């Protein structure tokens, strides 16, 4: 058995709705906010008086402990972390489609705008002799980025994911001036950007080598003054960007763009494969900078990645897409009104041994946040969550290796002996995490 610190220790899965979406701020029309065209048409036709739009919806876990390897797998199943909270959007029912996006130097398309930004930055910190931005003789991006480190003016340090007064001061200044947010507190800063669920704690990087994976604060000092921090996770398959803050007095340095390039450079220097930029939302203007990094999006249906350029037609106007092995968009077949997945879910929810899924109504897509549902009602059909059919057809209760923390003790979950509540938690956890990760799990009941 794995040692406790190698376990994925987490709460039961939660299904969370929030009317205050940080991306669209609940300003989309119903038509714009609904994920799939046939559902959108259905609501326009049949619910003309009902104009409510979906809330922001995610599946989440509070995580007490996990390894970087766990998190690496979770990112590639569409999850992200905020402090010690793990979440992934319900791509069907929420207001915004949040696609996992990743890139690297090979997929990146260098534009004149990037070259200008880099040259301007270097000139501003006293580095002369930038290459021609028109790129006629080629433009060696890595060389220009390296000059920043060699200049002596800019010093970039990897610091532990720990609270300091200096970092908090910069965070407050950034939130006040850039996001009009005057409600910062030391506690919220720690919870959002310092706390990590990793058993390995902080990353250790030395001479462009990863000595230990984990979280890190990439701190940018200009003439010894802290001007920006990139909050990063250094994972086996790549560098994951969580957040960036910068000093608004240095707005002209375009730290948002520069830090993205430096993080992509870091990925390459460390010999890692991907730079994870978080989520990409096609109809959110704030995300346009991510498009400029090129890269690929996660297809939740089979957990494969597809080039953003190849599928940009499928995701236009913020729609959800599901791609098959022939690169076709089969979203209507799978998730359209009366589609296969919904019919199958209805059929299999009645078959499920020992518990009832029938209380979950799949005939509606818009669910209000103020209805009577509990945060435990995970719908039967969610993209990227194993279907009841697949689980049922491969079902063998002996395969359950999850442990449960219940009544003050940790014990193996024995499906046939569990209560209906615990059975549902086990099934939902396996469906959401996948069998492999669920095997490592200790679930707080
Ligand atoms: Zn939204």
The 10s digit of each residue's pLDDT in 345-361 is 888 888 887 777 654 55
Residues 203 and 264 occupy one common structural domain: yes
Distance (angstroms) between ligand 1 centre and the Cα of 385 equals: 21
In a domain, 306, yes or no: no
pLDDT in tens, 29-56: 999 999 999 999 988 888 766 668 889 9
User: Stretch 158-162: mean pLDDT, rounded?
Assistant: 96
Report H helices in 270-307. 288-291
Give pLDDT, residue 365.
75
Q: What is the pLDDT of residue 116?
A: 94
What CATH number corresponds to the domain at position 184?
3.40.630
Q: Distance, CA 92 to ligand 1 centroid (Å)?
A: 12
pLDDT score recorded for residue 287: 85
Could you tell me if 258 and 323 lie in one domain? no
The CA distance from 26 to 198, in Å, is 33
Contact 205, 240 (CB under 8 A): no
Question: 181 and 132, same structural domain?
Answer: yes
Ligand 1 mean position to 96 CA, how many Å? 4
Position 20 scores a pLDDT of 86
Same domain, 181 and 326: no
Supply the pLDDT for residue 371. 57
Whole-number pLDDT of residue 375? 76
Cα separation of 403 and 414, whole Å? 9
| Residues, Cβ < 5 Å to ion ligand 1 | 21, 23-24, 95-96
Range of the domain at 408: 4-102+317-444
Give yes or no: residues 348 and 267 share one domain: no
Q: For residue 282, is it within any domain?
A: no
pLDDT of residue 373: 61
Whether residues 146 and 80 share a domain: the answer is: no
Q: How much is the average pLDDT of 146-152?
A: 91
| Arithmetic mean of pLDDT, 147-158 | 93
- With a pLDDT cut of 90, the percent of the chain lying above it is 71
Is there a domain that residue 307 lies in?
no
CA–centroid distance, residue 331 to ligand 1 (Å): 20
Boundary (domain end) residue, out of 219, 237, 272: 272
Per the domain annotation, does 295 fall within a domain? no
**pLDDT for 6 beyond 80:** yes
Task: Give a yes or no: residue 63 inside a domain.
Answer: yes
420 Cα to the center of ligand 1, angstroms: 34
Q: Which residue has the tokens 């007095």?
A: 249
Quote the ligand 1 centre to 283 CA distance (angstroms).
10
Q: How far is CA 284 from CA 32, 92, 108, 261, 302, in A?
A: 12, 17, 21, 21, 25
Instruction: Indicate if the pLDDT at residue 136 is higher than 80.
Output: no
Last residue of a domain, one of 219, 246, 272: 272
Please tell me the predicted confidence (pLDDT) of residue 267: 98
What pLDDT does residue 131 have? Answer: 87
Mean pLDDT of the region 410-416: 94
Same domain, 151 and 245: yes
- Lookup: tokens for 72: 């690496």
221 and 83 within one domain? no
Report the separation in Å between the CA atom of 24 and the middle of ligand 1, taken as the mean of its atom positions: 4
Distance CA 287, CA 342 (A): 31
Has residue 220 got a pLDDT over 80? Answer: yes
In a domain, 415, yes or no: yes
Residue 350 backbone phi and psi in degrees, to 5: -75, -25
Please, which pLDDT band fits residue 132 given cuts at 50, 70 and 90? confident
If you average pLDDT over residues 148-170, what whole number do you get? 95
- Residue 309 within a domain: no
- Is there a single domain that holds both residue 203 and residue 58? no
What is the distance between the alpha carbons of residues 338 and 373, in angstroms, rounded to a whole number? 23
- What per-residue confidence (pLDDT) applies to 1? 57
Per-residue confidence (pLDDT) for residue 49, from 0 to 100: 67
Mean pLDDT on 409-430:
93
Residue 213 has a CB neighbour count (10 Å cut-off) of: 22
Q: How many residues would you count in the chain? A: 445
| CB atoms inside a 10 Å sphere around CB 136 | 8
CA of 226 to the centre of ligand 1 (A): 33
Q: Of 272, 306, 331, which closes a domain?
A: 272
pLDDT tens per residue across span 64-104: 999 999 999 999 999 999 999 999 999 999 999 999 999 99
Phi and psi angles of residue 6, each rounded to the nearest 5 degrees, phi first: -95, 0
If asked whether residues 86 and 116 sit together in one domain, one would say no
pLDDT given for residue 329 in this prediction: 97
CA of 83 from ligand 1 middle (Å) equals 21
Question: Does one domain contain both 375 and 239?
Answer: no
Residue 311 belongs to a domain: no
Q: What is the pLDDT of residues 275-321, one digit of tens each?
A: 999 999 999 988 888 888 989 999 999 999 999 999 999 999 999 99
Q: How many domains does the chain have?
A: 2
Same domain for 170 and 123?
Answer: yes
Mean pLDDT of 389-414: 91
| 194 phi, psi to nearest 5 deg | -115, -40
* Token pair for 50: 């009902």
């Amino acid at each position: 058995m794995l040692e406790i610190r190698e376990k994925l220790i987490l709460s039961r899965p939660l299904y969370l709705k929030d009317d205050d979406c940080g991306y669209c701020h609940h300003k989309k029309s119903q038509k714009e906010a609904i994920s799939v065209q046939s559902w959108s048409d259905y609501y326009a036709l049949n619910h003309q008086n009902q104009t409510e739009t979906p809330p922001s919806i995610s599946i989440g876990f509070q995580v007490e402990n996990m390894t970087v390897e766990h998190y690496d797998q979770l990112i590639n199943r569409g999850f992200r972390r905020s402090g010690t909270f793990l979440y992934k959007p319900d791509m069907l029912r929420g207001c915004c489609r949040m696609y996992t996006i990743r890139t690297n130097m090979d997929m990146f398309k260098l534009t004149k705008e990037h070259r200008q930004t880099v040259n301007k930055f270097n000139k501003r910190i006293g580095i002369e002799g930038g290459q021609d931005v028109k790129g006629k003789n080629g433009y060696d991006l890595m060389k220009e980025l390296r000059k920043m480190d060699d200049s002596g003016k800019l010093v970039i340090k990897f610091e532990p994911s720990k609270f300091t007064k200096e970092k908090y001061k910069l965070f407050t200044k950034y939130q006040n001036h850039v996001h009009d947010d005057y409600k910062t507190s030391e506690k919220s800063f720690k919870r959002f950007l310092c706390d990590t669920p990793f058993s390995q704690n902080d990353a250790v990087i030395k001479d462009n080598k990863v000595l230990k994976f984990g979280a890190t604060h990439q701190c940018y000092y200009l003439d010894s003054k802290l001007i920006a921090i990139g909050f990063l996770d250094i994972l086996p398959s790549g560098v994951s960007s969580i957040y960036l803050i910068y000093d608004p007095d240095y707005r002209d340095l375009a730290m948002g763009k520069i830090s993205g390039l430096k993080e992509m450079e870091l990925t390459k220097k460390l010999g890692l494969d991907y730079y994870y930029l978080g989520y990409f939302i096609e109809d959110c203007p704030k995300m346009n900078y991510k498009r400029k990094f090129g890269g690929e999006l996660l297809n939740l249906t089979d957990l494969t990645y597809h080039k953003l350029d190849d599928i940009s037609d499928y995701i236009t106007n913020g729609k959800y897409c599901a791609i098959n092995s022939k690169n076709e968009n089969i979203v209507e077949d799978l998730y359209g009104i009366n589609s296969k997945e919904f019919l199958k879910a209805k059929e299999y929810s009645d078959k499920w041994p020992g518990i009832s899924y029938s209380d979950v109504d799949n005939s509606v897509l818009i669910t209000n946040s103020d209805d009577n549902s509990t945060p435990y009602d995970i719908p039967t059909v969610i993209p990227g969550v194993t279907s009841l059919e697949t689980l049922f057809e491969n079902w063998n209760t002996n395969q359950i290796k999850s442990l449960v923390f219940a009544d003050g003790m940790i014990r193996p979950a024995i499906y046939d002996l569990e209560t209906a509540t615990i059975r549902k938690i086990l099934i939902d956890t396996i469906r959401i995490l996948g069998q492999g990760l669920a095997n490592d799990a200790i679930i707080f009941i």
